[in-house]
Structures are given as structure tokens and as C-alpha cells.
Amino acid sequence: MEYKIKFSENFDVIKINDEKPQYLLNSILETEVNRLKVILDKFVK
């Protein structure tokens, strides 16, 4: 089975806007990764 996971809107904004400070980028990426972990956990259980 194939699952497609869409990142939240914030992630798209970050990819486009390279002017954001690195720490903010890291923070948002961390948030996205945690979001994905929650989603993936549901499939694993």
C-alpha cells in the first residue's frame, strides 16, 4: 500500500523563502518531523 504525506502549509513557505533565519527553519522542520511521526505511528500500530 502507498501513502502520500503532505507537509503543512508552513513547510512550503519555508522552502520558498530562504531569507528566514536558520534557527526558525530548524524549529519549523522539527515541528514537521514530529507531525509526521504522529501520523506514521498511527499506521504502525
What would the DSSP string read from start to end of the chain?
-----PPPHHHHHHHH-TTS-HHHHHHHHHHHHHHHHHHHHHHH-
Please name the amino acid found at residue 22: Q
Q: What are the cell numbers at 2?
A: 502507498
At 16 the pLDDT is 46
At 14 the pLDDT is 47
Listed by start position, the domains of the chain span: 9-44
CB–CB of 24/11 below 8 Å?
no
> What is d(CA 36, CA 17) in angstroms, rounded to the nearest whole number?
22
Res. 23: pLDDT tops 60: yes
Does the predicted model carry a pTM greater than 0.75? no
- Mean pLDDT for the chain? 70
